[in-house]
Structure 1
Amino acid sequence: MSIEKSDTSDSKAINHGHFDTKGKLPSSFTIELQNSLRKSLPFEDKRDFEEAQKGFIAAPPYKQIIAEAGNVAWDMGSYEFLLQSFDSVFDSIHPSLQRQAILNMAYGLYEVLPDKIYQVRGFDLANMTIIRGDTGWILFDVLTCKETSKAALELVNEHLGQRPVVAVVYSHSHVDHYGGVRGVVDEADVKNGQVQIIAPVGFMEYAIAENVYSGTAMTRRAFFQYGLLLPRSPFGHVDQSIGKNTAAGRVGLIEPTRYIKQDIEELTIDGVRMLFQNTPGTEAPAEMNTYFPDWRAFWAAENICGTIHNIYTLRGALVRDALEWSKKINEALYLFGQEAEVMFASHSWPRWGNDRIQEVMRVQRDTYAHLNNEVLHQANKGVTINEIHNVYKLPLSLQQQWAAHSYHGSEEHNSRAVINRYLGYWDANPATLVPLSPSESAPLYIEMMGGAQKIMAKGKELHDQGKYRQAMEILNKLVYAEPHNQEAKDLLADVFEQIGYQKESPSVRNSFLSAAYELRNGFPSGVTAQTVSPDTVRAMSTELLLDFMSIRTDSQKAEGMRFTINLFTPDNGEKFVVEMSNSTLTNIKGFEAENPDLTITINRSDLESVMAGLSTFEDLIVALKAKLDGDRNVFEQLRSVLAQFTPDFAIMPGTKPAKAAISLEKDAFEQPEPANLSGG
């Protein structure tokens, strides 16, 4: 890892110049809305700023961290436009979001509890938390990548004294909490028992499985949610709600040596007593809070941060249970919150004092519970999934609490998620049960509305009146009907941009602004695809690999194919039957067919090298490390139907580049990298 100093930020951002030649300034309607929000929101409550700055020890002399591959892994300096003046007003940023973005500019080493607990903030999307044990450091969550975690630990050792890492705790199964493990520990030390790695039960399964089956689609959608193509600017990316952004370096994974399996489980590590509270089904399928009873310190993982989180994550994920989330916070409140004197988490900043801790815990408990209960209350009165986001509102008492604001989530998409969890996506209107695809229905709308010019005129009129959602409704139809109508795409982009400026949630803001960018400019060429991490491959079960091969199977190419394969991996004793029938690839573990068409024998460790793209089946056959017995044509048939997915498909019509933005020249059996689940 190399680190470069950077003491300049984007001059265009400082001067409020738009990064896109087609970009527009905030309209008078957007400015009016932002001004009204500045008057109605509780900006007089500055406790979060006091808490975010408390305990500061030191910041490093650099703002950029360079990845081993040579790219910039992390660049805190790119957001310095937010600090050019504490009183700066950006009308292109929702005032509440601007406040959150400034709070997330914390950068450096902080003391949470004297001589006991510290945090490095602003080195990645998540915080690294450092616990002083009797002989060394216990690290809670180790960031997304090796380079940022290594830099964080170096800062700790520089200012607090050199100590060995004796344990790492993964609070949950999202990559920004474990991916940097190789920057802070050597796997050999884990294997020989010098370093413990502790995680909640189910961690390894969910760290990988949650983001494989739809990983390419999730990666592409992340371009919108995380604004990956947006420059850091008042008109672009300003924050990611629970941190500035996600680091882009080398992701690793070392399997835990111990799992916390009980609902409440006590463990003493290097002289530090801890009570772990398993909280499955909250922010992650496998997650746990931790209480330090001797210090009255409560670690809230990612269950209680400076925001209301995603019940549904826009990049794609299973819908979460808002009620269960609320119940787990309530459980923590009554188990630990009655006496805790400091509460800290894997994102955001700590809270000190028991009254303050109980206040924040109750606010977040009530917000998740209200979301669940009020949405279902409305659903039972007939409000549908296509209406609830226009109906649901927090009660006024919660609107005036910063900890109840949905930066990572949003009331709009979280409320729809609750209905989707209980009732599904259908609103019970048969017309929406089997709708036409947008590209099929849009031409009919255009014809009945009198053609493109009338729609453009009405769309421009609505835009000029500040009726952006109404303009979006008709212009979106036009763009689907005429995907190469650049004038229509530009006008829709103008509409999306103003909506994006007005949104409190960066996920929603980024989605509108990213769509505007792609409508104006198309999806850019030169975007590189991520290569699969060997650590990730090792963590994938063989069954998961075979299941994803089934998803990758092109059923049209497989038409008429029928074969049975026995797969043996002697080094771990696994066996599978893989069948192709009815254009569908299936597998079953623990069985073998009596008369297979083909038998493949390969050690699991060698299969991993194929999955990681480090070798091919042909290489291993020549090296006598893989054996094919039976009809070799079956193997070639299987290879021929496996598609390689690339995350460069068009989301908005007419934005796909003429030439593929991403080139994937891979062996058919190479496993694509799972999606990055940073931020939940």
Structure 2
Amino acid sequence: MIRRFSQVVMRPLVAVGIIAFSSALALAQNAATNTTKNNNAAVKSELPFSNTQDFEDVKKGFIAPLPDNGIIKNAKGQTVWDLGAYSFAQGKEAPDTVNPSLWRQLQLLSEGGLYEVTPRIYQVRSADLSNITFIEGDSGVIVMDPLISAETAKASLDLYRKHRGNKPVVAVIYTHSHVDHYGGVRGVVDEKDVQSGKVKIIAPEGFLEEAVSENVFAGNTMGRRASYMYGNLLPKDPKGTLGTGLGLGTSPGTITIIPPTDTITKTGQQLKVDGLTFEFLLAPGTEAPAEMHFYIPELKAVTAAENATHTLHNLYTLRGAKVRNAKAWANYLNETLQRWGDKAEVLYAPHHWPTWGNEKVVDHLKKQRDLYKYLNDQTLRMANHGYNMVEAAEMMELPAELAQYWANRGYYGSVNHDTRAVWNYYLGFFDGNPARLYPLPPTEAGKKFVEYMGGADSVLQKAQKDYDAGNYRWVAQVLDNLVSAQPNNQKAKNLLADALEQMGYQQENGPWRNFFLSGAKELREGVKKLAMPVTASPDTIANMPIEMFFDYLGIRLNGPKAAGKKMAFNVSLPDIKGNYSLVVENGVLNYGPPVDKPDATVTINRTSLDDVIMGTAGIDDKVKDGSAKLGGDGAKFKEFLGMLDTFDFWWNVSTPNPPPSE
């Protein structure tokens, strides 16, 4: 059985999107150790590298490269995308610091430009993390999944129009609620055309709620972790990031959103768009909480959105999100086969390259279906034998017929962490062992651990021996305790960084590599503020339904500061014709209809309230310029605003954060 499924088993243990710029110069990185060299060399004999069909498919239908050598800039002249930065792998053998399977995936992903999928369907690939797809109707073009940033989406549309004519955009389809599938929408359409009815925005049921809740409610912590997951802090080279396996990287441009005009609410629903028929299948709770597949009978073309790409996907994403339902994922792929499997001649997706021919389409969908079903069923089988989450993940092995299929390799999700995701989905964080029910937090536990081990010097001596022996997983586990206890112990941080670095070099999984190498970088250099996309962008927050906006305020309310206080405010929002109350009591914020005796009244347009909450203007500024009115005890409302936390994006990931200040 193949054990190097997604993360190589270690021997012997085996918004505007740019928020900050800083120098990306890194400290010197280590070479691959003999353990890492041997581990990566073994991969070459275990996987079918002689099968080069993907290299033929990724070039099929090529029309034109990205202009300007693959560089896309924003209005300030700052680069938000550089495809050429990933070209270092082309035509070369994998170096010792890279798992050969991930190197192969990078070679495929760094092919980019405009491609014909089938007549009337075109894609621009490798202009962002995802693909943008152009489907030609009778008079215009339907855009599917307009990337992360308005800049990359616009550049892609310009490239398409240069070679296919200046067709108007008549509709945009969001296949699901992740930012790389809607964030660039204002780069391809003007909202005035949406409001006038000239352009439809089509999305699955629950799209807006899920897009906003994921990217705003937990957006700060998720975005910081994403800086590790997507390798944003790493150099693009054989000792740095190799992309994510799903795509190359994330563009730090302008993230936008336009709410849907047409919502798909049931499987079997059909829409006629510019002469083409779209048949939809809802797939909630799969790769995204709101997701859908569709088939175009006139073109015999099917997309399963992000549920059938050329990688094992995440059942739990390392940036943090709701755990996904592997059983539902498999079931919806099976339903896709039942509905359209005998008809489809091409399968295309918002990532990677298409699959052509009915026989290959069916085979691909079956193998992807069975990949997720195997993980679901076998994890539960082991759980029912009494194995805990970590044990089950360590034991999980895919059968050869799944593991040897390139599209099932763990470039983005991994067998190990997807197994843990299934276990957690059904059974939660507790494994049943009471000794693990109430652990000490890392800093306190670390101090006791170091004391028990005879002090920091003793721990480091033992850890160095294990590092020299190639026991990197154990070194990382041990030194995490030491660094938690002594976050200023640079010798401990450096050795921990060395272990993480070798673990990163061995990974087949792009995000695992990025996490390990990003952790090593932070341990050596401290937190570096570099270019990052901001998912909780001003445009996203401005398009939140007002109830979700008030929920967001509740998340930002500092509970300890609010404890013991009672406040009530009536808020009138003339531009959206809304009247609400905000009530602080018991340390929480609730909202509802206006109350009889508020402490203060506030009249302010929603757009101005957005400015106040985002910190681009103060409430006094709005009162002064006449765009807000305060009645009653205005000082209390200002006190309330002062109890809303702002979130520092650059919190420590690999070392302890200081206690919160109240």
Shorter chain as denominator, the TM-score bin is over 0.9
Q: In structure 2, how many angstroms separate the alpha carbons of the residues matched to 1:449 and 1:335?
A: 61
Aligned residue type for 2:619: F
Q: What secondary structure sits across from 1:557 in the alignment?
A: helix
Deviation of 1:194 after TM superposition, in Å, equals: 2.0
Match of 2:647 among 645, 649, 652: 645
Match of 1:126 among 127, 130, 138: 130
Q: In structure 2, how many angstroms separate the alpha carbons of the residues matched to 1:581 and 1:312?
A: 35
Aligned residue type for 2:58: A
- Structure 2 residue 317 is matched with structure 1 residue 313: yes
Which stretch has the larger CA shift, 571-580 or 274-283? 571-580
Match of 1:156 among 157, 160, 181: 160
Change (3 A) 1:423 1:655: closer
1:99 aligned residue: 104
Aligned residue type for 2:405: Q
Change (3 A) 1:311 1:601: same
2:145 aligned residue: 141
Residues 458-498 of structure 1, C-alpha deviation per residue, up to 9 Å, x if partnerless?
11111111111122222222211221111111111110011
Conserved in 2, the CA contact under 8 Å of 1:499 and 1:509? yes
Match of 2:630 among 628, 631, 646: 628
Q: What secondary structure sits across from 2:576 in the alignment?
A: coil
Conserved in 2, the CA contact under 8 Å of 1:74 and 1:124? yes
2:591 aligned residue: 588
Conserved in 2, the CA contact under 8 Å of 1:537 and 1:611? no
Change (3 A) 1:22 1:524: same
Q: In structure 2, how many angstroms separate the alpha carbons of the residues matched to 1:315 and 1:639?
A: 30
Deviation of 1:612 after TM superposition, in Å, equals: 4.7
Conserved in 2, the CA contact under 8 Å of 1:497 and 1:513? yes
Q: What secondary structure sits across from 2:135 in the alignment?
A: strand
Alignment of 1:39-438 (within 5 A): 39-62=45-68, 63-83=70-90, 86-114=91-119, 116-438=120-442
Q: What secondary structure sits across from 1:579 in the alignment?
A: strand
Change (3 A) 1:113 1:529: closer
Deviation of 1:193 after TM superposition, in Å, equals: 2.1
Which stretch has the larger CA shift, 442-451 or 488-497? 442-451
Q: In structure 2, how many angstroms separate the alpha carbons of the residues matched to 1:550 and 1:644?
A: 12
Deviation of 1:211 after TM superposition, in Å, equals: 2.2
Conserved in 1, the CA contact under 8 Å of 2:570 and 2:582? yes
Deviation of 1:393 after TM superposition, in Å, equals: 1.7
Q: In structure 2, how many angstroms separate the alpha carbons of the residues matched to 1:615 and 1:395?
A: 58
Aligned residue type for 1:505: N
Q: In structure 2, how many angstroms separate the alpha carbons of the residues matched to 1:205 and 1:283?
A: 16
How many residue pairs align between the two structures? 634
Aligned residue type for 2:330: S
**Structure 1-normalised TM-score?**
0.90
Q: In structure 1, how many angstroms separate the alpha carbons of the residues matched to 2:71 and 2:584?
A: 50
Conserved in 1, the CA contact under 8 Å of 2:250 and 2:533? no
Residues 88-123 of structure 1, C-alpha deviation per residue, up to 9 Å, x if partnerless?
222211111111111111211111113x11111111
Deviation of 1:197 after TM superposition, in Å, equals: 1.8
Deviation of 1:420 after TM superposition, in Å, equals: 1.1
1:549 aligned residue: 553
Deviation of 1:636 after TM superposition, in Å, equals: 2.3
Deviation of 1:613 after TM superposition, in Å, equals: 4.5
Deviation of 1:449 after TM superposition, in Å, equals: 1.2
2:11 aligned residue: none
Aligned residue type for 2:213: A
Aligned residue type for 2:278: M
Conserved in 2, the CA contact under 8 Å of 1:26 and 1:91? yes
Q: In structure 1, how many angstroms separate the alpha carbons of the residues matched to 2:584 and 2:242?
A: 49
Aligned residue type for 1:257: T
Q: In structure 1, how many angstroms separate the alpha carbons of the residues matched to 2:575 and 2:115?
A: 47
Q: What secondary structure sits across from 1:387 in the alignment?
A: helix
Deviation of 1:527 after TM superposition, in Å, equals: 6.7
Aligned residue type for 1:577: S
Alignment of 1:484-633 (within 5 A): 484-524=488-528, 530=534, 533-582=537-586, 584-589=587-592, 591-633=593-635
Change (3 A) 1:60 1:490: same
Residues 602-640 of structure 1, C-alpha deviation per residue, up to 9 Å, x if partnerless?
232432343454543223223333222222232122122
Seq. identity, % = 43
Residues 211-245 of structure 1, C-alpha deviation per residue, up to 9 Å, x if partnerless?
22221111111121112110101111111112111
Conserved in 2, the CA contact under 8 Å of 1:68 and 1:249? no
Q: In structure 1, how many angstroms separate the alpha carbons of the residues matched to 2:292 and 2:532?
A: 35
Deviation of 1:534 after TM superposition, in Å, equals: 4.0
Conserved in 1, the CA contact under 8 Å of 2:575 and 2:605? yes
Q: In structure 2, how many angstroms separate the alpha carbons of the residues matched to 1:218 and 1:528?
A: 12
Q: In structure 1, how many angstroms separate the alpha carbons of the residues matched to 2:391 and 2:78?
A: 44
Deviation of 1:20 after TM superposition, in Å, equals: 4.2
Q: In structure 1, how many angstroms separate the alpha carbons of the residues matched to 2:247 and 2:535?
A: 25
Deviation of 1:148 after TM superposition, in Å, equals: 0.9
Q: In structure 2, how many angstroms separate the alpha carbons of the residues matched to 1:139 and 1:307?
A: 24
Q: What secondary structure sits across from 1:60 in the alignment?
A: coil
Q: In structure 2, how many angstroms separate the alpha carbons of the residues matched to 1:23 and 1:45?
A: 33
Conserved in 1, the CA contact under 8 Å of 2:149 and 2:255? yes
Aligned residue type for 2:33: S
Residues 534-575 of structure 1, C-alpha deviation per residue, up to 9 Å, x if partnerless?
421221122222222222222332233222222232343433
Conserved in 2, the CA contact under 8 Å of 1:126 and 1:347? yes
Aligned residue type for 1:601: T
Deviation of 1:529 after TM superposition, in Å, equals: 9.0
Deviation of 1:161 after TM superposition, in Å, equals: 2.1
Aligned residue type for 1:73: V
Deviation of 1:530 after TM superposition, in Å, equals: 4.9
Q: In structure 1, how many angstroms separate the alpha carbons of the residues matched to 2:249 and 2:530?
A: 21
Q: In structure 2, how many angstroms separate the alpha carbons of the residues matched to 1:173 and 1:551?
A: 21
**Structure 2-normalised TM-score?**
0.92
Conserved in 2, the CA contact under 8 Å of 1:307 and 1:405? yes
Gaps of 5+ in 1: 1-17, 657-680
Conserved in 2, the CA contact under 8 Å of 1:209 and 1:540? no
Deviation of 1:253 after TM superposition, in Å, equals: 1.5
Q: In structure 2, how many angstroms separate the alpha carbons of the residues matched to 1:526 and 1:644?
A: 20
